[in-house]
Chain A
């Protein structure tokens, strides 16, 4: 998909005498709908969460891209932004939240902590060294903390990823 087509409705209009018919692919319609209404879960465990909050506020306003409202229950969320350090005690809770989210669900690992343990990589007794030990991650954002623009970029990258899915959860490129 070309850069300029990103936000365009994935269909063609065929003019007929009494109006027209829209022709599209089911996959593309579903992906279009899903990628433009990703609701994140309210989940922040430390400093990165502050940046995540500002990405949601009026200045950066992630609603512009379809992230709309953060939901306080995993049952209504499509996306979990892991914003902050995950400690051993938090890991089972995170797993449980992830398990409670309905499919399809996506994960953004925000910040050095969630990628590798970040500043707590060395000599720690309590920090999980990367959230991908616990749940599968779709997009990683480096930074400590990443700026809200970086988060928005990651979220839009995720939308791109979703647009390349097929209905049964396989991606076109990798075919996995």
Chain B
């Protein structure tokens, strides 16, 4: 099985709904509409030849320039039989970052989704316990969103001379 055959099989099943096909560093990447994430993951899991049954990673990315779909959820899946990986993305607007949970399919997604919620504020619908995991409970913002000003590149209080070196 190669990236080509995976792509072919997925296009046969889902047709034009899967977009933005890429193969960066040999890693097959594609995008699906947000509400289809469960369907795609279920198919990748159940299909006798695809067998993507290991969730390597699940995380978020903030793309402030993609207006209307600023927040991205990335799934990394691994077919352990044929040793082939793929990356699958969905995009949601930051005003309403609702995504269906995949905890029914992968129990390991429980903590990963909590982490993604913690740092990006993505709301995983149906998650059994969607609370912060790494940050303090009282935190009222999502620190990994690119909403905060970059550090002033001209500031001088970090120069070595300020530390007597």
In angstroms, Cα B134 to Cα A75, docked, is: 27
Q: Which residues of B contact A88 (CB under 8 A)?
A: 135-136
Q: A54-93 CB contact bits vs B (8 Å, 1 = yes)?
A: 0000000000000000000000000000000000110000
> Is residue B159 contacting chain A, with contact meaning CB distance below 8 A?
no
Q: Which residues of A contact B139 (CB under 8 A)?
A: 125
Q: Which residues of A contact B134 (CB under 8 A)?
A: 89
Q: Which residues of A contact B158 (CB under 8 A)?
A: 122
In the complex, the answer to whether A89 meets B136 with C-beta atoms within 8 Å is yes
Tell me how far the C-beta of B140 lies from the nearest C-beta in chain A, rounded to whole angstroms: 11
In the complex, the answer to whether A126 meets B143 with C-beta atoms within 8 Å is yes
Q: Which residues of B contact A126 (CB under 8 A)?
A: 135-136, 143
> Is residue A174 contacting chain B, with contact meaning CB distance below 8 A?
no
Tell me how far the C-beta of B76 lies from the nearest C-beta in chain A, rounded to whole angstroms: 25
Q: A118-132 CB contact bits vs B (8 Å, 1 = yes)?
A: 000011011000000
In the complex, the answer to whether A122 meets B136 with C-beta atoms within 8 Å is no
In the complex, the answer to whether B151 meets A122 with C-beta atoms within 8 Å is yes
Tell me how far the C-beta of A117 lies from the nearest C-beta in chain B, rounded to whole angstroms: 13
Tell me how far the C-beta of B136 lies from the nearest C-beta in chain A, rounded to whole angstroms: 5
In angstroms, Cα B134 to Cα A167, docked, is: 42
In the complex, the answer to whether A125 meets B151 with C-beta atoms within 8 Å is no
In angstroms, Cα B155 to Cα A123, docked, is: 13
Q: B116-143 CB contact bits vs A (8 Å, 1 = yes)?
A: 0000000000000000001110010001
Tell me how far the C-beta of B32 lies from the nearest C-beta in chain A, rounded to whole angstroms: 32
Closest-by-CB residue of B relative to A88 is B136
Tell me how far the C-beta of B54 lies from the nearest C-beta in chain A, rounded to whole angstroms: 29
Tell me how far the C-beta of A124 lies from the nearest C-beta in chain B, rounded to whole angstroms: 9
In the complex, the answer to whether A123 meets B151 with C-beta atoms within 8 Å is yes
In angstroms, Cα B149 to Cα A122, docked, is: 13
Closest-by-CB residue of B relative to A123 is B151
Q: Which residues of chain B have a CB within 8 Å of any CB of chain A?
A: 134-136, 139, 143, 151, 158
Given contacts A122-B158, A125-B135, A126-B136, 11 further A-B contacts (CB under 8 A): A88-B135, A88-B136, A89-B134, A89-B135, A89-B136, A122-B151, A123-B151, A125-B139, A125-B143, A126-B135, A126-B143
